[in-house]
């Protein structure tokens, strides 16, 4: 039996014979390409995948058994309610681990920017900052800076490997973008890109959709595809060879993410945690974010749609929401925990249903762009491994400091380029004000600082601080204290050097 005949038989057994409907119309090259794609599919498991997707989409959502409880205090740390001495201790521990080469960062960047309205990876997006920097550049520069902070503390030279999980859609453009930008000054050998698996999208009655006459409509298997991708691409072996023991895992779209945050790393290490999650306080009871909590004594994320309204509204004695630990896809894992998941728990990860508008080819060979959802994408989520943790911890951070995702095109009320840009500029305005700088508008009138960092009227001041100058507001006093700076102003390395020279000259004049 030829390979084509075996494929035909496998598709017949799976109830997907229509996949080869247009085979006679394909050229030899198109047939070869299609067979290569089909060869990479789990044809034996295709029947279960398609039938399972249809059942899951049709199943009535009965909600979660609300045997839930908040994260226990002993597993909780906070960036806002901990004393300065404690935070400093965690930070020093984190910097020590970074300096020893035991920390890596892992970026989840396999999704497409469909909601954002672009056809390239989100990391390449320019949100309109004065500097024109993309998300990838901002993140690369934060890695630079935190390496410098670790080097400064320990008097040594270190590097943080940057693992980037892409997909079929994002790998090639991401590789090209990094190459064109000279890897943003990082060592190419320390940037490791790898692909997650792709799985077929199916109709509501369990039929595989065709993207073209000779191509199945595929989609990444969700950010929870990370664990299989680590195995497929031998990433865990690479981590072991490099001596990486701790991973900071995050999503590409958060403009405020703190790469390899020493405080978070230090907190998790000091707690002996194998798995950890950063959370922000929910803005309101029905906010569309998952809640980190326990169900039946097991740590997990409960989706907002799974919590009954009366439970979401519950408040504590101080008026705070009882279930307020909003998940922001910002996690800590030990390498040994990831190895354990890959070897023992990967097959147990839950499959989630995503109903999408999937472009397809109809039975007549016509390209169709649906206006209503027509397909099912099955996804796994990165946080679905929390229940397997032996020592799970949670770390609270301020939303305005660390969470502003980019998901929607401008015009949306939240999570747009405008909201992301304003969040970063507002943060930098706060840092400048705390450092003692006075920012002036175009008429040289002082812009009054506010608690949020936003201007009294309109968007925040156009004052941007390069991550190469300051990772999280540190070291700005000596540069900015007592200065009057007219916006727009970009505090990059050259400007910082200039300001230092001016300060040195001022000191010499004073001495004379």
Scan for tokens 């497929």, then name that residue: 232
Non-local CB neighbours of 470 within 8 Å, separated by 6+ positions: 145, 431, 476, 491
Question: How is residue 203 annotated by DSSP?
Answer: -
Distance of alpha carbon 290 from alpha carbon 325, whole angstroms: 8
| Cα dihedral value 450, 455, 461, 465, nearest 10 | 30
Reported as a pLDDT band with limits 50, 70 and 90, residue 57 is confident
Q: Given pLDDT bands bounded at 50, 70 and 90, which one contains residue 56?
A: confident
Encoded tokens for 219: 């989609």
pLDDT of residue 512: 27
Q: When comparing pLDDT for 51 and 88, which is higher?
A: 88
Burial track 2-23 (b if 16+ CB lie within 10 A, e otherwise) = eeeeebbebbeebebeebbebe
pLDDT of residue 432: 95
pLDDT tens, position by position, 3-22? 888 889 989 999 999 999 99
Rounded-to-integer distance, Cα 412 and Cα 128, Å: 16
The token pair that represents 43 in the structure block: 């044809």
What is the rounded CA–CA span in Å between residue 32 and residue 278?
A: 46
What are 299's strand-pairing partners?
294
Amino acid 109: pLDDT: 95
User: Across 111-120, 305-314, 351-360, 361-370, which has the greatest mean pLDDT?
Assistant: 361-370
Q: Write the secondary structure of 56-98 as one string of H (helix), E (strand) and C (coil).
A: HHHCCCCCCCCCEECCCHHHEEECCCCCHHHHHHHHHHHHHHH
Between CA 28 and CA 25 the distance in angstroms is 10
- Average pLDDT value for residue range 453-458: 51
| pTM (two decimals) | 0.91
In which band, very low, low, confident or very high, does the pLDDT at 61 lie, cut at 50, 70 and 90? low
CA separation, residue 498 to residues 19, 138, 187, 505 (Å): 64, 22, 27, 11
Sorted by where each starts, the structural domains of the chain and their CATH numbers stand as 68-402 (3.90.550.10), 424-511 (2.10.10.100)
pLDDT at 495: 92
Per-residue pLDDT tens for 103-138?
Answer: 999 999 987 777 888 889 999 999 999 999 999 999
pLDDT confidence tier of residue 505, bands split at 50, 70 and 90: very low
Least confident of 64-68, 206-210, 336-340, 504-508: 504-508
- pLDDT value at residue 27: 94
The dihedrals phi and psi of 402, each to the nearest 5 degrees, come to -140, 5
pLDDT over 80 at 480, yes or no: yes
Where does the pLDDT of residue 503 fall: very low under 50, low under 70, confident under 90, or very high at 90 and above?
low
Q: What is the mean pLDDT of residues 423-428?
A: 96
What percent of the chain has a predicted confidence (pLDDT) above 90? Answer: 72
* pLDDT score at 193: 98
| Under 8 Å between Cβ of 136 and 123 | yes
- What digits encode the pLDDT tens for the residues 259-277? 999 999 999 999 999 999 9
The residue-averaged pLDDT of 31-60 equals 85
In the predicted structure, residue 91 carries a pLDDT above the cut 70: yes
Residue 14's contacts (CB-CB under 8 Å, 6 or more residues apart) are 43, 46, 47, 50
Give the per-residue pLDDT at 452: 57
- What is the rounded average pLDDT of the residues 145-161? 93
């Amino acid at each position: 039996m030829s390979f084509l005949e075996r494929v035909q038989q496998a598709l017949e057994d799976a109830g997907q014979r229509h996949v080869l409907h247009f085979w006679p119309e394909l050229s030899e090259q198109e047939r070869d390409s299609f067979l290569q794609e089909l060869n990479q599919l789990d044809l034996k498991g295709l029947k279960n995948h398609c039938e399972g997707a249809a059942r899951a989409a049709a199943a009535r959502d009965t909600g979660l058994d609300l045997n839930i409880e908040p994260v226990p205090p002993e597993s909780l740390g906070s960036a806002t309610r901990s004393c300065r001495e404690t935070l400093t201790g965690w930070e020093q521990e984190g910097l020590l681990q970074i300096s020893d080469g035991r920390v890596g960062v892992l970026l989840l960047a396999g999704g497409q920017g469909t909601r954002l309205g672009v056809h390239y990876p989100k990391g390449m997006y320019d949100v309109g900052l004065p500097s024109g920097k993309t998300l990838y550049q901002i993140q690369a520069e934060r890695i630079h800076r935190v390496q410098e902070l670790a080097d400064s503390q320990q008097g040594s030279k270190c590097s943080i490997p940057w693992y980037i999980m892409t997909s079929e859609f994002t790998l090639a453009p991401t590789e090209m973008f990094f190459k064109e930008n000279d890897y943003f000054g990082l060592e190419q050998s320390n940037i490791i890109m790898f692909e997650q698996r792709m799985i077929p999208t199916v109709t509501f009655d369990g039929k595989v959709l065709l993207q073209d006459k000779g191509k199945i409509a595929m989609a990444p298997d969700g950010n929870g595809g990370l664990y299989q991708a680590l195995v497929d691409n031998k990433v865990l072996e690479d981590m072991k060879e490099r001596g990486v023991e701790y991973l900071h895992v995050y999503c590409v779209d958060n403009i405020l993410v703190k790469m390899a945050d020493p405080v978070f790393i230090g907190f998790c290490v000091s707690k002996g945690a194998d798995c950890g999650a950063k959370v922000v306080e929910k803005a309101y009871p029905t906010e569309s974010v998952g809640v980190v909590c326990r169900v039946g004594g097991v740590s997990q994320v409960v989706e907002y749609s799974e919590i009954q309204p009366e439970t979401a509204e519950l408040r504590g004695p101080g008026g705070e929401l009882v279930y307020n630990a909003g998940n922001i896809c910002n996690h800590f894992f030990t390498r040994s925990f990831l190895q354990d998941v890959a070897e023992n728990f990967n097959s147990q990860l839950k499959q989630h249903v995503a109903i999408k508008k999937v472009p397809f080819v109809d039975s007549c060979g016509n390209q169709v762009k649906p206006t209503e959802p027509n397909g099912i994408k099955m996804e796994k989520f990165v946080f679905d491994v929390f229940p397997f943790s032996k020592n799970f911890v949670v770390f609270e951070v301020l939303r305005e400091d660390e969470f502003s995702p980019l998901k929607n095109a401008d015009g949306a009320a939240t999570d747009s380029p405008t909201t992301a840009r304003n969040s970063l500029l507002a943060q930098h305005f706060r840092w400048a004000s705390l450092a003692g700088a006075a920012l002036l508008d175009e008429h040289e009138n002082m812009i009054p600082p506010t608690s949020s960092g936003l201007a009294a009227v309109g968007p925040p001041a156009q004052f941007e601080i390069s991550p190469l100058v300051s990772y999280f507001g540190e070291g700005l006093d000596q540069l900015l204290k007592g200065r009057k700076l007219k916006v727009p102003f970009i505090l990059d390395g050259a400007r910082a050097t200039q300001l230092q020279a001016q300060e040195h000259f001022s000191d010499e004049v004073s001495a004379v």
